A and B are shown apart, each in its own frame.
Chain A
Amino acid sequence: DRGPPSPSPGDTSVLAGLYGPVEVKGSKELPDRAALEVLLRPKVGLPGVMERSREQLLRRTCETVVLGVLHPRTAITLVLQVLSDAGSLLSCCLNAACMGLLDAGLPLASLFCGITCALDPHGAIILDPTTRQEQDARAVLTFAIDSAERKVLTATTRGSCSVEEMQQCLVAAQRAADTIFQFYRDSVRRKYSKS
C-alpha cells in the first residue's frame, strides 16, 4: 500500500507517498468513510499557512474522487514532499497526488489532473508557467480537471481576470488535461507491461 511516484514537469518535482487504508486513531475515525489526510512538506523551513491551505485544497479534491465509503473507519495518509519548485507547484502536487492514489491501488471514481494557467499582461494564456511567468502574470489560475467528463473538481485563482478570460483558461485547461491523462495512461501501461 505504498505509492512513490514523482511526476515532474520541467524542473518542478513533487514526491508523493501514500499509506492506506490503515487503522486510524480513535478521534480521527469516521464511521462511514475513510478519513483522508494530506501532508505537504516544503523543501526549506517548517510548513506554514500556505502549506496548510494547499493541504486542505488537495484533501477536498482527493475526497471527491476516492471512494471512501468502501473503507469505513480507516485512514488514508498522503504525504507530498516538494523536491524542487520552478513554477506551477500546485498543479504538480495535484498530479502527484493522483498518481499516488492510482499507484497505491485505491478505489477511485475517476482520475484528476492539475493544470496551471497564467494570464500575462497582454491577455495571452500561458499553460504551466515558470516562476518568472507566474510573477509577471496578471492572474494565475489552477484547475483540477477530472478524467471522466473533463469537469472541474477544483479551481483556485490568484489575481483578477474577467469571466470570459476564466472560461477561456478553463477550456485551455481541459484541452491540456487530455495530454496529461494520456501520460498517466502510458506510464501505467509501461509499468505493468511485461516488456
Chain B
Amino acid sequence: MKATPLSNCERRFLLRAIEERKRLDGRQCYDYRNVRISFGADYGCCIVELGKTRVLAQVSCELVAPKPNRPTEGILFFNLELSPMAAPGFEPGRQSELLVKLNRLIERCLRNSKCIDTESLCIVAGEKVWQIRLDLHLLNHDGNIIDAASIAGIVALCHFRRPDVSVQGEEVTVYTPEERDPVPLSIHHMPICVSFAFFQQGTYLLVDPSEREESVMDGVLVIAMNKHREICTIQSSGGIMLVKDQVLRCSKITAVKVAEITELIQKALENDQKVRKEGGKFGFAESIPNQKITAFKMESAAVDTNNVEEQAEEIITKAEPPSEVFAKPILHTPGTAQIGEGIENSWGDLEESEKEEAEEEGESEATAFECHKMETETETEGRRITEAKKDEPIVLSDSEEEEVVILEPQELPKKTRTQTKPKQENTSKKAFNKRRRKKRAAY
C-alpha cells in the first residue's frame, strides 16, 4: 500500500511552528511523551506505548548447540518487525532501509553493550547453550520507533524467566515450570535509547520526535545509555553536522531521561511481580482500563447446551442421506489406479477427437481423487455405458510423437470407456496410462 506523502503546506507549517519553538502536541522541546508499560500473561511478553507508538516484545528460549568459535556463550537473537498495521507504507516482506537501520541499532544497543550475561546461558560447554530470542513487533507508528523498541526489549528481557537447569556430571535436567520455578536472565544493566531530532541545520533539537516531526527533520542523533551514565551506543544519521558541545549537551539530557525511564521500568516490573505473587489476574485483558469507552469486558458466559443432542438428531434425520460414495479403486497397473469415471463434458456438441480429449481430462481428474465428483457418477455412468456401446473406433491420440509400447496385454476391467475392439483398447488404454502417468508425475 502506498503511504500518503506529506504535503508542502503541512511541511511548511511544521517547520514554521518549530522555528517559533512550538510542538504540535504542546510539549516542550525536551519532553518525552507518556510511557506506558503493560505485561502479558506469559513471562517475557510486554507492550510498551510511547504516546501512540506501540511495540510488542516477546522473549523466548531454546536449547541449541553453541557457535563453534564461542563454545561457552549463549546465543542472542534479535528481530524487529514493522507490522503492516503500523503504517500504511509498511508492506509485508519488504526489507526497507528503515527496518535494517532499526534492527542494527537494537542489536548494537542490546548485544554489543553486553547487558545480558551470555556466559550464564551456557549449560554444557561446546554442546548445549540457551538461545534467547527477542521478537519485537511494531504495532503502531507515531514516531520514535527506536526508543519504544529499546524500552520494550529491555523490559521483556528483564521480565523473562527461563526454565531451571541442573547439571550433574554428564546428565543435564531441564525442569518444567511446574517442577521448579523458572529463573530470570542475568542482566548487568539496562541500556535505553533516546532520540534527538535536529532542525535548522543542527541548531535546534527536539527530544522524542513524533511521526510528523520525523518526516520534516534534518537528521537524528540516537544515544543509548544506562542509568550509570555509560554510553552504550551513539549514532548520528541524516547528514547533519554536529558540534562537540551539542553532542555533550545531548548526552546530559539523555542521562536525565534514562534515569526517569529506568525508574518507571523498575516500578512496572515490581508491580507485575506483586500481582503475580498475590495470584491476581494479569495479562493484557486486565491491563486495558475499564473506563475507556472502547474497552468492553464480559465474564465467561455459560451456554445452554442441554438440548444439543436432540436438536442435532433432528437436523441429521431431516438432512438427506449422503449420496453413495464409490470407494472401489480400479487398479490398471501397479501404480496407476482409478476411482470413478470423471464427469461428462457438458460443453455441448464437440467434435469426436475433442470429446475424447475432454473425457480423458475427466479421467485424469478422477485420478486426483476428487470425491465430490462421485455424486454425479450414478447419472453419468448410465449415460457413458450407452455411449460406449456405439461401434466406433476410439482413437486416443493422433500424435506421432508418443510411442506406444504394449508390454503385456491386460484384462480390462468392465467399467472402462471402450468396450469394442480389444486390441485397439489395449493400445488406447496403454497410451492413456502412459499419459496419465506423465500427468501424475507432474503433480
Contact = CB atoms under 8 A, between A and B. Distances in A.
Interface of A: 4-6, 8-11, 13, 15-19, 22-24, 39, 41, 43-45, 75, 77, 79, 81, 83-84, 86, 125, 127-128, 163-164, 167-168, 170-172, 175-176, 179, 183, 186-187, 190-191
Given A16-B85, A39-B92, A83-B47, 4 more contacts: A15-B139, A79-B84, A128-B300, A175-B308
B296 A83 contact: no
Interface of B: 1-2, 40-42, 45, 47, 56, 58, 60, 81, 83-86, 88, 92, 133, 135, 137, 139-140, 283-285, 293-294, 296, 298, 300-301, 303-305, 308-309, 311-313, 315-316
Contacts of B298: 183, 186
Nearest to B133: A44
B285 A41 contact: no
A115 B88 CA distance: 31
Contacts of A191: 293-294
Contacts, number: 115
B312 A23 contact: no
A187 B296 contact: yes
A22 B91 CA distance: 14
A33 to B, nearest CB: 18
Contacts of B294: 5, 187, 191
Contacts of A44: 58, 60, 133, 135
Task: With a 10 A CB-CB cut-off, give which of B1, B81, B140 has the most chain A CB atoms.
Answer: B1
Contacts of A23: 1-2
A84 B312 contact: no
B296 A10 contact: no
B84 A171 contact: no
A176 B303 CA distance: 6
Contacts of A86: 41
Contact of A81 (B85, B305, B311): B85
Given A43-B56, A44-B60, A81-B137, A175 B303 contact: yes
Nearest to A20: B1
Contact of B84 (A43, A77, A186): A77
A83 B284 contact: yes
B176 to A, nearest CB: 13
A79 B88 CA distance: 11
Nearest to A13: B284
B277 to A, nearest CB: 18
B41 A11 contact: yes
Contact of A172 (B60, B300, B305): B305
A167 to B, nearest CB: 4
Task: With a 10 A CB-CB cut-off, give which of B84, B85, B300 has the most chain A CB atoms.
Answer: B85
Contact of B83 (A11, A79, A163, A190): A79
Nearest to A186: B296
Given A44-B135, A83-B284, A183-B298, A167 B312 contact: yes
A11 B286 CA distance: 9
Contact of A175 (B137, B300, B304): B304
A41 B303 contact: no
A178 to B, nearest CB: 8
A70 B45 CA distance: 41
B425 to A, nearest CB: 41
Contacts of A125: 305, 308
A176 B305 CA distance: 9
A71 to B, nearest CB: 14
A168 B312 contact: yes
Contact of A13 (B285, B293, B315): B285
Nearest to A80: B85
A168 B308 contact: yes
A164 B316 contact: yes
Contacts of A168: 308-309, 312
B308 A171 contact: yes
Nearest to B59: A44
B299 to A, nearest CB: 11
Contact of B81 (A15, A17, A24, A41): A41
B44 to A, nearest CB: 10
Nearest to B85: A17
A22 B88 contact: yes
Nearest to A124: B305
Given A45-B135, A83-B40, A191-B293, A172 B285 contact: no
A172 B58 contact: no
Contacts of B88: 19, 22
A191 B293 CA distance: 6
Contacts of B301: 179
B85 A171 contact: no
A163 B84 CA distance: 41
Contacts of A167: 312, 315-316
B303 A127 contact: yes
Contacts of A15: 85, 139
A12 B2 CA distance: 32
A183 B296 CA distance: 8
A41 B58 CA distance: 13
Nearest to B302: A179
Given A81-B137, A167-B316, A168-B309, A11 B296 contact: no
B317 to A, nearest CB: 10
A23 B1 CA distance: 7
B305 A175 contact: yes
A183 to B, nearest CB: 5
